[in-house]
């Protein structure tokens, strides 16, 4: 039989944003429910070494960090639900989410923390070598390639920004693009072409990520998009930078989004256009996309949800007295 679960704060998504919102919400007495979704723990569960999350002097593992966040959220009073939301009703005043199990979740406030997924090339070796030389985040993993050869794959703003960032760690950065011109903004292109540490390889498509004897990435197999000529490029690290896809399918037609699908919020806040509905983490942030920034916006969402409920409860009490 389907069950209806009620809470003061319903959270969809269980990455750093969702779990941080849960921790703050639970400590405020809102007894939050977190519906974990398809990938409990978010993108950090498929990340190995994490060296840029504050509070840990040594390198930590992404899955371990998310296990600790979840344990902390549960410890302070969060209910974790291993379920997948298939539809939402945002008409309010109570927000409703229905899951594929048939269960219904009702929240006086709703925190959307469904995140975003890096887009991959889908070629052989890519997933097998993920974390072993192949990455989708230079800011996250570039530090591990100090003094080594690295390549960036893509031609938009993300790819150019990643290539420029990697020059902080490497003197040999190669940008590989399948066309003969970049799609990035002109100011970024100017910075790229002016940087002596960056070489651009035009009209090349990655056919395969090649494993070395040590089990890590050794090289990329390329094919010329105009002539069909095959070649290889040796590298220590490869960063796939062809964009991210926010997990916002549930909210199409119900919440405002930008042209790429990221949820729009009031600048500097996690507030959406619907009072009581908040968006945090990578689902609304296409600029920073870091665990620490996601956690920060999760905190903001919980604090704003608490204030929203306090104002609403005060107004309702005033009506009763009148």
Residues whose CB falls within 8 Å of the CB of residue 32, separated by 6 or more in sequence, listed in order = 7, 8, 9, 10, 11, 21, 22, 25, 26, 77, 78, 79, 111, 302
Q: Using an 8 Å Cβ cutoff, are 297 and 281 in contact?
A: yes
d(Cα 95, Cα 106) in Å, to the nearest integer? 6
pLDDT tens, 183-233? 998 999 999 999 999 999 999 999 999 999 999 999 999 999 999 999 999
Give the CA distances from residue 33 to residues 13, 21, 74, 146, in Å, rounded to whole numbers and listed in that order. Answer: 10, 10, 10, 42
d(Cα 47, Cα 143) in Å, to the nearest integer? 14
Find the mean pLDDT for residues 11-16: 96
Of the two residues 45 and 86, the one the predictor is more confident about is 86
- pTM metric for this prediction: 0.78
Q: Using an 8 Å Cβ cutoff, are 281 and 17 in contact?
A: yes
Per-residue pLDDT, 40: 83
pLDDT tens, 259-268? 989 999 999 9
Q: By three-state DSSP, how is residue 145 classified?
A: helix
Phi, psi of 80 (to 5 degrees): -100, 125
* Average of per-residue pLDDT values in the chain: 94
The set of catalytic residues is: 137, 140-141
């Amino acid at each position: 039989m389907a069950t209806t679960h009620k809470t003061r704060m319903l959270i969809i998504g269980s990455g750093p944003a969702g779990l941080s919102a849960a921790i703050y919400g639970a400590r405020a007495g809102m007894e939050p429910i977190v519906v974990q979704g398809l990938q409990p723990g978010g993108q950090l569960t498929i990340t190995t070494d994490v060296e840029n999350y504050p509070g840990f002097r040594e390198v930590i593992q992404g899955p371990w960090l998310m296990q600790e966040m979840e344990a902390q959220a549960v410890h302070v009073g969060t209910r974790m639900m291993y379920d997948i939301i298939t539809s939402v009703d945002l008409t309010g005043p109570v927000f409703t989410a229905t899951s594929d199990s048939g269960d219904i979740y009702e929240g006086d406030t709703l925190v959307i923390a469904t995140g975003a997924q890096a887009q991959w090339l889908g070629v052989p070796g890519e997933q097998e070598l993920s974390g072993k030389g192949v990455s989708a985040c230079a800011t996250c993993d570039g530090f591990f390639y100090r003094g080594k050869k690295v390549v960036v794959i893509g031609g938009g703003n993300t790819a150019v920004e990643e290539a420029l960032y990697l020059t902080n760690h490497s003197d040999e950065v190669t940008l590989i693009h399948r066309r003969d011109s970049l799609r990035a903004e002109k100011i970024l292109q100017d910075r790229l072409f002016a940087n002596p540490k960056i070489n651009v390889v035009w009209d090349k498509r990655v056919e395969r990520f090649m494993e070395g004897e040590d089990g890590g990435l050794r090289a990329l197999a390329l094919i010329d998009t105009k002539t069909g000529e095959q070649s290889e490029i040796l590298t220590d690290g490869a960063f796939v930078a062809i964009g991210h896809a926010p997990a916002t399918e549930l909210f199409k037609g119900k919440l405002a989004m930008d042209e790429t699908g990221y949820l729009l919020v009031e600048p500097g806040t996690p507030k959406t256009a619907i009072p009581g509905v908040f968006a945090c983490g990578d689902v609304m942030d296409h600029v920073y996309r870091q665990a620490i920034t996601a956690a920060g916006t999760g905190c903001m969402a919980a604090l704003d949800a608490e204030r929203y409920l306090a104002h609403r409860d005060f107004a309702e009490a005033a009506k009763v007295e009148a």
